[in-house]
Structure 1
Amino acid sequence: MFSIPLGDDGAELRPLEPWQAEEFLANIDRGREFIGRYVGLADAVTDLASSRAYLQRYADKAAADTGRIYGTWLDGTLVGGVLFRTMDVPMGTAEAGCWLEPSAAGRGLATRAARVIIDWAIGERGVHRVEWVVAAGNLASVAVARRLGMTREGVLRESFPHGGERYDMELWSVLAPEWRSAARQHGNGHRRVP
């Protein structure tokens, strides 16, 4: 299996597959309350069967070329990940997202991992527009969108019911020419992700 280093702190990005359901469940369990504050992932992955089913859905999406999921490991422990919740290569669009357990927050892991998958989607797959949809109160995820150079396009008011509340969702995006321009300015090349 491949892994891509995300820096010199022992962090790496790897595929997250159904056979890793136990490790994925442990990651979600360690951060269930933190992850579940704004993201439905904690509600979807509650036991080993649902963990395996969630990862299988992404394996099926990868096979159909409509989504991907990758884990972020820190010193050998799965601490979060990034994904393309949706991916429509013929239309040139994808929606990226992330999750982290609390012990991994504040280290730039989500931003570094998202850069790798966005580089791949734009550079290798020809995706033109990558979106990031985030609850307005999820300041950490909003900060990731900003660090990725995304533009805030608007707010979908009270569009996401979660945990007995309705959340405003912000829509952020980056277009391929903007991404490439920023990469040239910072001397970043594209990394290959299968």
Structure 2
Amino acid sequence: MARRAADTLTMIAARQHLLRKPASSPADRPARIVPPLLPLSAGALGWGILMALSMLPSLYLRNRFATVHVEALTVLYFAGGLLAWPFIIPAIRLVARNASAEARFAACFVLLASGTIAMTAFLFAMEYWLFYAQWHQPLLSRMGLKQLIGTVASGVYQFAVMGLGLYLPIGLPVLAGVSLWLAKAMR
């Protein structure tokens, strides 16, 4: 009998908990994961510009712009930053929304670096594949899929070997500064 009464009280408490109104204070509300469109777009544009500008000094120091691909590389690094930002910011907010300042900075640093590199490498690999696709079998064939995977893997590897160095020396301080700014803004 006492056990039934305890079970009934537990069920009533659980129902009251489910029927309770959501908290009204801003501190009790869950953090917004996806920011508004205008700040997200402005941040993406700014990050894309910073990534393109961080690549240019390295390209100049490497070979004094003695390449016919300066414009294409600038667009590639800009697009990598631009397209990565809208995925990175919600990921940062999801991972570090209730973390300490140091953890927020670390999350910003790691996710900005890895997300930007991944998106830029993906875009490079797609450009690489588009070039070699003219000699490939049809995409939906078994051989075509193997060729797609091999070409994309080769493109990512080539970007990792030759393209990552273009982020240095300017990209690292820019990454640290933006990570610090984002970590402070997430308070």
| TM-score normalised by L of structure 2 | 0.24
| TM-score normalised by L of structure 1 | 0.24
| Greater share of residues in helix | 2
| Greater share of residues in strand | 1
Larger radius of gyration between Structure 1 and Structure 2? 2
